[in-house]
Amino acid sequence: MNRRHFVKNNAALICLSQLAVLTAASCSTISGGPLKKIRDNVGYFEGRGGTIGWFISKDDGIAIIDSQFEDKAKELIQLIDIPDDRMIDLLINTHHHLDHTSGNIAFKGKVRRILAHSNSKVNQVKTARAKKIEDKQLYPSEVFRHELSVNAGMETIHCMYWGDAHTNGDAVIHFQNANVAHMGDLVFNRKHPFIDKKNGASVSGWINVLNIARSYFDRDTQFIFGHSDNGFPVTGTKADLLSMQNYLEAAVDYIQDQKFKGAKKENLYLVRSVPGADEFKGSGFKRTVDAVWEEVF
């Protein structure tokens, strides 16, 4: 058995002790079905809720990004189909929202480490207490503040935090060798986003984070997005990051202008799309209005 370790290569954490070995049968699962491959050993699972990303390597281990809900997480674990005596090496939460973390509980006793940004863990605990669902949680075992790399044999999983955006704890996860990045809910692909002001979201910060992401990644990077709408996929390229950024900028311009002209906030709730970002349409603009209204004068 070729035993490799997930090891830290910067100041923050992670040395995972033993690699989960896949059976030949489980590897063949990945060629089709719900585990959609993007590149090399990295792919995604749509299920229900925030899109799950995965790294599954016969030699280098298993890492899962986000966990949706308990039933969907169990389905995913079954699809991965590892032997009973093997553990999944790593689960990472991109942020605390329940459609990304409720499935953590399905990994209890099956995963070695759960990793998230420190604010994401705080928010997860706070939300669970408020909703009285603490018994349904499995919290991150380790957190990071700025960035963290995890070596997984031929792959390096690099976690980055670029500031307040969709929440105050959004991690971007880059599989550097495959050059695939999970953006969490930093991209709602052509869908009016949820902007969680109660948990530190910032529209101006979000625009800044997308700017950073667009300069950090290259033309070859493939992305996984938390959500999509209007027939658009949950995967894409830097062009989709720009589209998301344009939407937020157009929404700020539009809402600020309307507020300046004396419009009532409630009158903007039923707007379907804003000038300059008409691919984002349908219901849900109220969430953007409420968030932007707080930030502009």
Closest approach of Zn ion to the CB of residue 199, in Å:
9
# residues near Zn ion by CB under 5 A: 2
Considering beta carbons, is residue 26 or 127 the nearer one to Zn ion? 127
Q: What are the residues whose beta carbons fall under 8 Å from the beta carbon of 225, sequence distance 6 or more?
A: 51, 183, 187, 188, 189, 234, 235, 236, 240
Burial of 44 (0-12, 13-18, 19+ CB in 10 A): buried
The smaller minimum CB distance to Zn ion, of residues 160 and 187, is found at: 187
Per-residue x/- track, 177-196, Zn ion (CB under 5 A):
--------x-----------
Closer to Zn ion by CB, 72 or 97: give it. 97
The nearer residue to Zn ion, 7 or 130, going by C-beta atoms, is 130
3-class SS at 220?
A: coil
Q: Measured between alpha carbons, how far is 268 from 217 in angstroms, rounded to an integer?
A: 35
> Cβ contacts of residue 288 below 8 Å, gap of 6+?
192, 193, 195, 203, 251, 255
Scored b (16 or more CB within 10 A) or e, 88-127 reads bbbbbbbbbbbbbbbbbbbbeebbbbbbbbbbbbbbbeeb
Which is nearer to Zn ion, 97 or 113 (by Cβ)?
A: 97
- Smallest gap, in angstroms, from Cβ of residue 185 to Zn ion? 4
Say if CB 47 and CB 72 are below 8 A apart. Answer: yes
Shortest Å distance, C-beta 96 to Zn ion: 8
Q: How far is the CB of 226 from Zn ion (least distance, A)?
A: 6
Map residues 62-101 to x or -, x wherever contact with Zn ion holds by CB under 5 A: -----------------------------------x----
Q: Any contact of residue 113 with Zn ion (CB under 5 A)?
A: no
In terms of CB distance, is 97 or 121 closer to Zn ion?
97
Nearer to Zn ion, 178 or 183 (CB): 183
What is the nearest approach in angstroms of Zn ion to the Cβ of residue 113? 22
Does position 121 interact with Zn ion (CB under 5 A)? The reply is no
End-to-end Cα distance, the chain:
62
155 is an interface residue for Zn ion by CB under 5 A: no
Q: Which whole-number Å values give the CA distances from 280 to 182, 228, 229, 251, 263, in the listed order?
A: 21, 10, 8, 10, 22
164 binding Zn ion? (CB under 5 A): no
Shortest Å distance, C-beta 20 to Zn ion: 28
- Shortest spacing between CB 11 and Zn ion, in angstroms: 28
Q: Cα–Cα distance between 37 and 128 in angstroms, integer?
A: 33
Binding site for Zn ion (CB under 5 A): 97, 185
